[in-house]
Structure formats: C-alpha cells, structure tokens
Chains A and B, each alone.
Chain A
Amino acid sequence: MAIRSFFVPFLLFALCFNSSLTPVLSLYEDQVGLMDWHQQYIGKVKQAVFSTQKTGRRRVIVSTEENVIASLDLRHGEIFWRHLLGSNDVIDGIDIGLGKYVITLSSGGSILRSWNLPDGQMVWESFLQGPKHSKSLLLVPTNLKIEKDNVIVVFSNGRLHAVSCIDGEVLWNKDFEAESFEVQQVIQPPGSDLIYVVGFAASSQFEMYQINARNGELLKHESETFSSGFFREVSLVSSETVAALDSTGSILLTISFQNGEISFQQTPISNLVEDSSGPAVIIPSSVPGIFAIKTNAITIFIRVIGKGKLEVVETTNHETAVSNALPISEGQQAFALVQHAGSEIHLAVKLAHDWDGNLLKESIKMDQQRGLVHKVFINNYIRTDRSHGFRVLIVMEDHSLLLLQQGAVVWSREDGLASIIDVTASELPVERDGVSVAKVEHNLFEWLKGHMLKLKGTLMLASPEDVAAIQSMRLKSSEKSKMTRDHNGFRKLLIVLTRAGKLFALHTGDGRIVWSHLLRSLHKSEACKSPIGLNMYQWQVPHHHALDENPSVLVISRCGPSSGAPGVLSFVDAYTGKELNSLSLVHAVVQVIPLPYTDSTEQRLHLLIDSDKHAHLYPKSSEALGIFKREFSNIYWYSVEELDGIIKGHALKCKCTGEVADEFCFDTRDLWSVVFPSESEKIIATVTRKSNEVVHTQAKVIADQDVMYKYISRNLLFVATVAPKGSGEIGSVTPEESWLVVYLIDTVTGRILHRVTHHGAQGPVHAVFSENWVVYHYFNLRAHRYEMSVIEIYDQSRADNKDVWKLVLGKHNLTSPISLFSRPEVITKSQSYFFTHSVKAIAVTSTAKGITSKQLLIGTIGDQVLALDKRFLDPRRSVNPTQAEKEEGIIPLTDSLPIIPQSYVTHALRVEGLRGILTVPAKLESTTLVFAHGVDLFFTQLAPSRTYDSLTEDFSYALLLLTIVALVAAIFVTWRLSERKELQDKWR
C-alpha cells in the first residue's frame, strides 16, 4: 500500500513542473561552458596597424572584410576588444593617432571615428560630407601639428578634410569640384607643411594640387595631359613621384611632380622584360623607390633610379605578397616579401634601397590547407642586443591570420570561420573494439568524491575552491569531446563551408577543429576564375547496409557571380576531410533538389536544375537512374522568380532532346504558376518546412477530449509579399501605402490554401515553417512595433473521425491515401502578437521523434538567441482560457510576447554578426543541438521540455545514495520496533 502510494507525490511533483510557466530553459552561472561553447572571430584581415607604444601590452589593430575593427594581442592573438560596424558602414581605412586612438574611416568616407586604444571605447565621431562621391583616403601624419593638435587628413566625397585628432573637429576643408577629378593619392611629405593631392581627370589628365596643411589653402594646381590615358591605380614611389600604367597596360609611366612641375617618363614594359605578354597591373604598395607590376602569372619588381629611370630587380613566377614599408631608423625603410615555394614560404625582409641584401631570410613550413599568402604586414622590435627583429603578420587564402617570428608561426587564428556560408551536421564513427575508449572513472572513491562536491555545490555549501574544482571537473570530463558516437547523440561533427572555400569540421563537444580542407575545386584556376561556394548537402549518410562507408557531403559551387556560370561539385569525406571526387560541370546549377531516395550505398539522389531548365540527375549511375525512373512521375518542385514576382511549379517531362545523348538529363515542364501583380506585391520571403523534420503525430488533442488533425504536407510554401513602396527601410512609407500579404501555397498543384493581408505592415519578414504552422516576424507601421504572427493549418476532412464508434467499426478515413490533387478541406487559425526586438534569424528546435514540444529560436538584433516556447504563439490563446484549456497548457492572451532574460540560449554572450541558426536533433528525444553562427560561433544543447528522459547534469547521485541508505536504515529500525512491539503484545 505504502509502496504504491510513493508515486502520488511524484506525479504531483511532475504536474507542478508542467503547469508552471517558469522559463523552461535556464542556466546557473556555474553551468556556463558545460554544454555550450562560444568562439570569437574577426574575419579576413583587410588592413593591420601595429601599435607602436613602447610600454604596455603589444597589440595590433585590424580591420576586416566582415567589417570588424579589433585590437589583438600580439603575443597570443587573442581579442582585446572588437566592434562590428553596420553592414552599410564599410571600413575604408584605419590608423592610429597620437599613439592612443584608433582612427577609422567608414561609410564611403562619411564617418570618421576615434576609439580608445586600450579598451575600445568610442571617443568621438565626425560626419564628413562632400559634394560628390569619390574614393576615400585616410592619412594620419605623425608630425603634422596645428596648435599642438595632431591632424588627420581625410579625402572623401570629393573634399579634403583636416580633422583634429583630439575631438574630431573639422579644422578646415577644401572642395575638389572638378567633375571628373578622381583622386588617387594624398601625400604628406614628412617634415613639411604641404599636402599633395594627385589624381586623374577625364581619364587622360594628371592633376596635382599642392595644399597648405595648416589652413587648406591651395598653393599650386598643375595638370598635364597624357594622350593614351591611365589605367586605374598608381603606386607611390617617393613623396614626389608616382608610377602608373597607361590605359593599354603596356607602358609604364613615372610621374614626378617635384616643386609643382609635372613630368612624365614613359617606359614600355617590353623594354624591361622581354617575354612579357598581356596587360599588366600595378600591385599597390608604398615601398619607396620600388614598385611591382604583375603580368599574367609573373610578378616584376622595378626600381626607380634617378629621374624616371627604371631597372628590373627581380621577376618571379611564384605567388608573392609584399608588405608596406616600415621606417626602422633615420632614412631607412624595410619591407617584407613573402614567396611560395612548394610546401614552404620564404620570408625576406629587405631595406627599400638595397634589394639584394636581406635583413632577414627565413623559410617556414606552411600547412597546404591554408593556400596562398594574400597579405603581409610587417612590424619591428628592438632586440636586447639593440639589433632589429621583425615580426610579420600574414593573411592566408583561407582567411586565417598568422604571426611569424623567428622562423616560426607564433600563433594563428582561423578567421575563415567568421564567414560561414552553409552548415551541415554529420555523425561520428561508431565506437567499436579498437576504437579508442576514454578511460572510465578512475575509481569509486574519486567518483564519490566528485559527486559529494557536486552535492555541496547544489546545496550552496561549497567554498570558492570547491566551486572551481567542480567547474574544472565538469569541463575535463573527456566524455564530451570523444571522437566516437554516443548513446545520446550529443557528439556530432558540424561541417561548415566558409566563404574562402574551406571546409571545417567542428566537434560539437568542445568546438575544436577536427579537420579542415581547402577545396581544390574552389581554387582559382584557368577554367574557373572566381569560384564561389554555394551550398552543402548530405551526399551519403550510411546507417543500414553501408556502415563501412564514411559519410560524405556534397559541396556545390559556381565559377563566377552570375547564376549562369558553370557549376562545380565536390564530394568530401566527412570523417577525414578528404576530397573524394570533384566534377566540373558543363551546365550551371540554379537549383538543387535532394530527392528522398538513396541507392544501395546510401548515396542520396540529387536533381540539379540548370539555367536552361534541364534537370540533371546525380549520382550518374545506372542504379540511381533505375530508382529515379520508378519515381519519375512523383517528382515535383517549384521555383521562385523574385524579380518578376512569379512562383512556378515544375515536373519532369522526358529525356533531354539535345544533340549529345545524356541519359541523366531530363527536360522539364511547367505545371502551374502564381503571378503576383508587380504594381502591388513584391516577394520578400519564401519559407518551406525542413525536409528532414519528423512529426510525431497528426492528431492534436485539445480541451474537452476533442481532436484536431494537423494538415501536414511537405509541399507547403509560405510566401510573403509587400507593397513595392514598402520594400525599403522602416519609416520610408506611411501605413496607408504599405501592406504585407502572406500566402500558403501547395507546391504540387499551385493551389493557394490560405491568404492573409496585414494592412500597414512592412518587411523585412523572417519566417519559420514547422509541422502545420508558420511563424513570421514583420513590422507593424501603425503601432510602430514589430509583430509576430502564427498561422496553424488543420485538416478538416478528417475532423469527423472523432467518433469512437467509427474508429471501432473501421469506418474512418484515416488510412485512405492522401493526394494533393484532391481539394483539401483545411481551416486555418491565426493570431498576432507584438515582439520588442528586430530579428535577424528565426529557427525552431527539432528533435529525433518530434514528440518534445517546440521552441522558437529568435536571433535578435542584439546578437542574442532567445528561446520562446511555441505555446506563446498558439492561435487558441484567449484572454480568459477555460479551466479545461488551462489544464491543456494554454496561456492567457497578452498583446506582446514575453522576453524572459533567463531564456536567452546565449545567456550573457553575444553571437556577434548573427546570420543563421541551425538545429540538429540529438538521439535523445528531449534534446536538440543548436548552432548559431555569424562572426562568432555558438553551440549549445537545448531541452525544450526539460530533460524528461535523462538525468540532468547536476543530478546528485550522492543524495540518491544517501536517501537509499536512509531508507534502508529506516526499514530496519521500524522492523525492529515492530517486532519488539509484536513480542510485547504476545507477552501481554
């Protein structure tokens, strides 16, 4: 009796949990880093400036292609501080002023900011305007002073500004109104009060302005015409000489403007190098006396001697990168030169006037997976013996950043991970005999001690040392970073494709890089000039018959920015990162459709649609073709033409009717099209369900034992359109002229199942589609707040299956086949709520069996990820739910969605520059893995309804043991007592 009753309090306890509205996800501060990891990156470095402060920590300031400015520790490569600027606030230049301010010029030269070097606090911001758009140049002369104030010289928007370094005041400015004037260089010869502005006008005229740096007065303006015109860039050779190319790229020009007199010296390139062919380009550099040009694959270094005389100092066909000049002592300038030779790179530091002598010559072994050296930055230090030492920062093709010093790589940063294009998850190998097994718990005593510590922690009795011990013990647990599959499916590989064309495999346990591979097929080549990685698909996921095979991923890329460029496929082994195969296609890849069929080796069939609307089947094997032929008439897909506002449905027709017989190529036909009126609607978002989503049940039991049937179809498409006027920024339209229309379209038949108009609403729209519901986020112009709406769609044709007798007698239609061609009887329910923040991305949790309730993961504008229970977005919410509805878990309706700080998945961290959120189901039903990426990476495990199927990390085994011991003791004590009592009774 008693034993049976034990369960009652448990049930009560469980009920308490379910009905309470406390945030399901919440974390104690000491649990940080237990299941999550966070990595900070900056992106590919564009420009680097070394802080020359003699004291304090050595640092380098960098600006990157991800639009980050950061201060890095020169000793370890860690980030001191970092700021991500807005996407249309691109950094044009950085420098250090007065040794303690970082100066940045951004937004096409309109915004000049100064940051405090030690902590990254913005000091001032200036807005620079000008008459016209132009190149923007930033110059921070070290010795130009106006009344004790250092001056920053900025050329932007056709105007030259002199800005105070201390408070950002504009001291003077000077317009360059001449219509066609294109500035090339702003030069400030050291030790003088002059500024030279040189550039081209009307493409054949060289202009030189001499300006007084103290007040912006124009001292001299000279111009000279060169009949055959100029070619883009100039290279600064000395403070009064520049080198340029003529418009054909075959004649070198040295232009000197000494004392305001312009003189040209022409030298045909063929005079210098015999076998030069093709037009040359100037490599921008600032090494005095030397410049470099590149023709075809040959780099030529040319020295300027005397008045316009040129001399070739070196020609090389190795890949080469040159740094800017670094003044090391009075009149001496050094620069670094990096050349590739096989698996090594040769680093040479030379003095500008002495090409043949080397200050430093080193060869460093370089990982082939890093590709070529793209940029070099040089810095010097004084050794203890007062000689010069050099350290060199290099930026590689894979966007990584390395510091070289004394012939070795001191540190490296994998900054390619800041620009992820696509992510997919892969399983780890199964643990077998021989596969390494981490050592088990050391011994019972240690184990108990650990749990006693944990118990102390949960009871808040732990001393700080104990807390530290607990933390380290948890982090150390080798379990989570093992290289094999686990029972719960928490350990996986995240395969990421970066913009540099490099694949990385990250371990979900601790985020370390398992392997990385620079795709050869994404390498620049003759055939493929500018390859771009596009997407990644799971090519082969072995689980049943092909367990011996490694899983592999398919990487789709394209040779050039236009969608008609030919595609490239590469197949990469997910365990080793080896490129198994790569195919250069003759056709373009516009759309990739992973089909739900696999062949005997579990290779997934993929259909690639090219720009001529032919469908190509991969893999190209007869077996795949056989499977495909069988399913030929069941394959449908759709395409969205956003510019024309058309959505089309397609199916296969027949084999290709081209000249070349290709049995893997098929013609397609259009089945239907939905044309949106271009004057009133513009497509801004389309979302479908994830193809691998699992739905547990179609039925949804609602209050009063009633059942509703979810309308679950893989072929539903959510489309959002806005008024063309309202497709711009927020605030650019009035509520009357803007509307948002959302559609649910069946992609097999083109039937519009549902359509809603939100008047006075505007994009951007972020949406997520799961099971039978879609949630979307948009801007409400009337309330001037963001809103989120939910649409749920239910199947009415099955609604009358509620009668138990029908089910018993088999008169239900639950087993009748569903065809999308029959007219569906659906009803939709929807509701809208206010939401405070702007949103960058929305995702939904996904679990292995789809039983666990769902949470929305909302990436907010503050780069945090908020977990919001789907129950908050339930169209059946009402202001006063009935008792039955309350029991079902329906939350009383409020006008806005709650933001509970404890339910931020990212807790106190930011995923800077958040772009995407990926959820992967773990094997354990309650748990889902979440990976958020942007400039930073963040990974965690989530249990939307708590871990109901496993014990939590902080479950105290020691307490359990204690309880059991206490219970056993109690049993014996009571037994004794009762026996004694019995005996006494018998004696009575």
Chain B
Amino acid sequence: MAGIARLLLLVLMSTVPLFSSGSRTGFTINGRVKIPHGFGPKGFTLPGRMSNVKVILNGGQNVTFVRPDGYFSFHNIPSGTHLIEVAAMGYFFSPVRVDFSARNPGKVQAALTENRRGLSELVLEPLREEHYYEVREPFSIMSLLKSPMGLMLGFMLVVAVFMPKLVENMDAEEMRRVQEEMRGQGVPSLSGMSPGGARN
C-alpha cells in the first residue's frame, strides 16, 4: 500500500463538448476510498471487501464503484458544489462536499460535512467502524444477579439476613403491637416464612 502514491484531487477540464445537445464542459472527479489497515475487525481488510463499496454522487445522481486499490472517478460533472457519499457495509463515512469553481477552473475544495474538516486531497477514510450487532456480555455473576430472577433471589437473601436484625432492634412495646396486629389478621402458621422469630 505504501508504494501507491496518494492520488491528488485531479480535476481535468475537458474541452470536448459532450453530446451534441449541450456544449457544457464536464469535470472529472478522481478520488480514492481508503480503508486503513488494522481498522478492520480482524486487523486487516478482507479481500473482496472493496468490491462492495459504492461511491454515490449527489444522492444517487451518479453511482460508481472502486477499483481494487480504492480509486474511483466520476465523469462529466458540471461545475458547482457536489456531495460524495461512500456506502460500505461496516464503515461509517462522512459525506464529502466538493466545490468546483466555474470562474477559476481548476480550483477545487473538498471538506467532510460531518466535522467540517477540509481535505487537501480526495482520500476518503471511514470515520469509524459500524458494528450492527450487540455483543453478548460474557457470563458474569453480575449479569445473572441483574436479571429479574437474580433480583428476586437477592432480595430474598437480604430479607432473610437483615429482617431479623431489624426486628431485634425494635423495642418491645412496638413488637407486641405488631404481633397483636398479625394475630388479628389471622396470619397462617406459614408466617414463619417472614423469618426470624416473629414471635419471640
């Protein structure tokens, strides 16, 4: 990769009038899509990955594909301001604004629209990777405890350990009152499940 010189934003004024109908002159936009090494999930770009990269001009007006080395070109583009988008699964590319000045031909500006960073050459690199799936958390006690069942069990334990302490700290007066109240409601014998000597 290092051997390949980075391509400058080449804009060729073509003087040949295109189609007999209009004598517009068109520009050619040349650029390069670069997915850096070590950026891929497995540390390298998979072969054949480049074959699914599409470069889109002005929301679908022109669509082109990239060569194996990432170069692409759009032909016969009128002067003005254009938007280039890159569609590549797994990567997030910022759209790029490209200005061709009609008054001084050859003057070109390019900038990423997401972060307004200017580009001195039209080399498009992904801003970040996109992972479309949630990653399963590895097994941990915490995840088990956070589940509703875990919470249920945890609460149960808390009650089992701390309730007796709480009850012990109550003063006798209040205890008697509570006990009476419970008897009044006719609590079944299984009331022992609210553990600790509720009747001590």
* Interface positions of A (Cβ within 8 A of B): 1-2, 5-6, 9-10, 13, 26-30, 32, 81, 83, 85-89, 110-111, 113, 116, 119-125, 127, 129, 131-133, 157, 458-461, 729-732, 764, 779, 781, 783-785, 836-838, 840, 861-863, 896, 899, 901-902, 904, 907-908, 910, 959-960, 962-963, 966-967, 970-971, 974-975, 977-979, 981-982, 985
**B75 lies within 8 A of A2 (CB):** no
A784 with B81: in contact, given A6-B155, A133-B20 (CB under 8 Å)?
Answer: yes
A460 with B139: in contact, given A836-B95, A982-B197 (CB under 8 Å)?
Answer: yes
**B51 lies within 8 A of A122 (CB):** yes
Q: Among the listed stretches B1-9, B57-65, B117-125, B169-177, which one makes contact with chain A, having 4 or more residues with CB under 8 Å of it?
A: B57-65
B interface, size bucket: 35 or more
- Would you list 21 pairs from A and B whose C-beta atoms are within 8 A, ordered by A residue? A6-B155, A10-B148, A81-B51, A88-B61, A119-B48, A121-B68, A122-B66, A125-B67, A127-B73, A129-B76, A729-B58, A730-B59, A730-B82, A731-B58, A764-B59, A785-B95, A836-B114, A907-B132, A967-B156, A981-B197, A985-B199
Query: Does B142 sit at the interface, judged by CB under 8 A?
Result: no
A730 with B83: in contact, given A83-B65, A960-B149 (CB under 8 Å)?
Answer: yes
CA distance A465 to B113 in the complex (A): 46
**A785 lies within 8 A of B160 (CB):** no
Query: Does B159 sit at the interface, judged by CB under 8 A?
Result: yes
Residues of A within 8 Å of B89, CB to CB, are: 862, 908, 910
A132 with B65: in contact, given A127-B73, A982-B192 (CB under 8 Å)?
Answer: no
Query: Does B163 sit at the interface, judged by CB under 8 A?
Result: yes
- Tell me which of A132, A966, A978 contacts B20 (CB under 8 A): A132
User: Closest approach, in angstroms, between the C-beta of B96 and any C-beta of chain A?
Assistant: 10
Query: Does B56 sit at the interface, judged by CB under 8 A?
Result: yes
Residues of B within 8 Å of A981, CB to CB, are: 196-197, 200
A125 with B147: in contact, given A87-B60, A784-B83 (CB under 8 Å)?
Answer: no
Residues of A within 8 Å of B47, CB to CB, are: 119
Residues of A within 8 Å of B20, CB to CB, are: 131-133
A899 with B92: in contact, given A122-B51, A784-B113 (CB under 8 Å)?
Answer: yes
User: Closest approach, in angstroms, between the C-beta of B132 and any C-beta of chain A?
Assistant: 4
Residues of B within 8 Å of A6, CB to CB, are: 152, 155
Residues of A within 8 Å of B153, CB to CB, are: 963, 966-967, 970
**A902 lies within 8 A of B63 (CB):** no
Query: Does B151 sit at the interface, judged by CB under 8 A?
Result: yes
- Tell me which of B56, B64, B193 contacts A975 (CB under 8 A): B193
User: Closest approach, in angstroms, between the C-beta of A839 and any C-beta of chain B?
Assistant: 8
- Tell me which of A86, A116, A121, A460 contacts B136 (CB under 8 A): A460
A29 with B82: in contact, given A127-B76, A838-B60 (CB under 8 Å)?
Answer: no
Nearest residue (CB) in B for A89 is B63
**B92 lies within 8 A of A901 (CB):** yes
Query: Does B10 sit at the interface, judged by CB under 8 A?
Result: no
Residues of A within 8 Å of B28, CB to CB, are: 127
Interface residues of B in 85-101 (CB under 8 A from A): 85, 87-90, 92, 94-95, 97
Residues of A within 8 Å of B40, CB to CB, are: none
Nearest residue (CB) in A for B152 is A963
**B62 lies within 8 A of A86 (CB):** yes
**B134 lies within 8 A of A26 (CB):** yes
Residues of B within 8 Å of A5, CB to CB, are: 155, 159
A125 with B193: in contact, given A27-B134, A133-B19, A784-B81 (CB under 8 Å)?
Answer: no
CA distance A123 to B97 in the complex (A): 27
User: Closest approach, in angstroms, between the C-beta of A726 and any C-beta of chain B?
Assistant: 12
- Tell me which of A838, A904, A959 contacts B85 (CB under 8 A): A838
CA distance A26 to B48 in the complex (A): 27
Residues of A within 8 Å of B137, CB to CB, are: 460
User: Closest approach, in angstroms, between the C-beta of A449 and any C-beta of chain B?
Assistant: 20
Nearest residue (CB) in A for B88 is A862
**B160 lies within 8 A of A970 (CB):** yes
CA distance A420 to B66 in the complex (A): 29
CA distance A977 to B196 in the complex (A): 8
Name the residue in B19, B60, B132, B190 with the highest tally of chain A Cβ atoms < 10 Å from its Cβ: B132
User: Closest approach, in angstroms, between the C-beta of A410 and any C-beta of chain B?
Assistant: 28
Query: Does B194 sit at the interface, judged by CB under 8 A?
Result: yes
Residues of B within 8 Å of A729, CB to CB, are: 58, 61
Residues of B within 8 Å of A461, CB to CB, are: 139
Interface residues of B in 156-186 (CB under 8 A from A): 156, 159-160, 163
CA distance A863 to B52 in the complex (A): 12
User: Closest approach, in angstroms, between the C-beta of B133 and any C-beta of chain A?
Assistant: 4
CA distance A732 to B82 in the complex (A): 8
CA distance A133 to B21 in the complex (A): 9
**A122 lies within 8 A of B67 (CB):** yes
- Tell me which of B56, B130, B155, B199 contacts A838 (CB under 8 A): B56
**A836 lies within 8 A of B94 (CB):** yes
**A125 lies within 8 A of B73 (CB):** yes
Nearest residue (CB) in A for B128 is A901
User: Closest approach, in angstroms, between the C-beta of A953 and any C-beta of chain B?
Assistant: 14
**A731 lies within 8 A of B81 (CB):** yes
CA distance A110 to B131 in the complex (A): 38
Query: Does B106 sit at the interface, judged by CB under 8 A?
Result: no
Nearest residue (CB) in B for A764 is B59
Residues of B within 8 Å of A28, CB to CB, are: 133-134, 136
Residues of B within 8 Å of A132, CB to CB, are: 19-20
**A119 lies within 8 A of B61 (CB):** no
- Tell me which of A113, A157, A963 contacts B65 (CB under 8 A): A113
User: Closest approach, in angstroms, between the C-beta of A84 and any C-beta of chain B?
Assistant: 8
CA distance A230 to B78 in the complex (A): 38
Query: Does B13 sit at the interface, judged by CB under 8 A?
Result: no
User: Closest approach, in angstroms, between the C-beta of B93 and any C-beta of chain A?
Assistant: 9
CA distance A764 to B78 in the complex (A): 19
User: Closest approach, in angstroms, between the C-beta of A454 and any C-beta of chain B?
Assistant: 13
Residues of A within 8 Å of B80, CB to CB, are: 731-732
CA distance A783 to B90 in the complex (A): 26
**A974 lies within 8 A of B19 (CB):** no
Nearest residue (CB) in A for B196 is A978
Interface string of B26-53 (1 = CB under 8 A from A): 0010000000000000000001101100
User: Closest approach, in angstroms, between the C-beta of B51 and any C-beta of chain A?
Assistant: 4
**B133 lies within 8 A of A29 (CB):** yes
User: Closest approach, in angstroms, between the C-beta of A72 and any C-beta of chain B?
Assistant: 16
- Tell me which of A10, A13, A783, A861 contacts B60 (CB under 8 A): A861
CA distance A120 to B54 in the complex (A): 13
CA distance A837 to B127 in the complex (A): 14
CA distance A114 to B156 in the complex (A): 69
User: Closest approach, in angstroms, between the C-beta of B177 and any C-beta of chain A?
Assistant: 15
CA distance A459 to B81 in the complex (A): 53
**A124 lies within 8 A of B155 (CB):** no
Residues of B within 8 Å of A781, CB to CB, are: 81
**A27 lies within 8 A of B156 (CB):** no
Residues of B within 8 Å of A120, CB to CB, are: 51
**B155 lies within 8 A of A9 (CB):** yes
Nearest residue (CB) in B for A976 is B192
Name the residue in A111, A901, A904, A967 with the highest tally of chain B Cβ atoms < 10 Å from its Cβ: A901
User: Closest approach, in angstroms, between the C-beta of A160 and any C-beta of chain B?
Assistant: 16
Nearest residue (CB) in A for B54 is A862
CA distance A119 to B52 in the complex (A): 10
Nearest residue (CB) in A for B163 is A2
Residues of A within 8 Å of B131, CB to CB, are: 901-902
**B133 lies within 8 A of A27 (CB):** yes
CA distance A2 to B156 in the complex (A): 8
Residues of B within 8 Å of A458, CB to CB, are: 136
Residues of B within 8 Å of A26, CB to CB, are: 133-134
CA distance A981 to B194 in the complex (A): 13
Nearest residue (CB) in A for B67 is A122
User: Closest approach, in angstroms, between the C-beta of A770 and any C-beta of chain B?
Assistant: 24
Nearest residue (CB) in A for B129 is A901
Nearest residue (CB) in A for B195 is A974
**B48 lies within 8 A of A971 (CB):** no
CA distance A425 to B50 in the complex (A): 38
Nearest residue (CB) in A for B94 is A836
- Tell me which of B63, B82, B94, B151 contacts A13 (CB under 8 A): B151
Nearest residue (CB) in B for A67 is B63
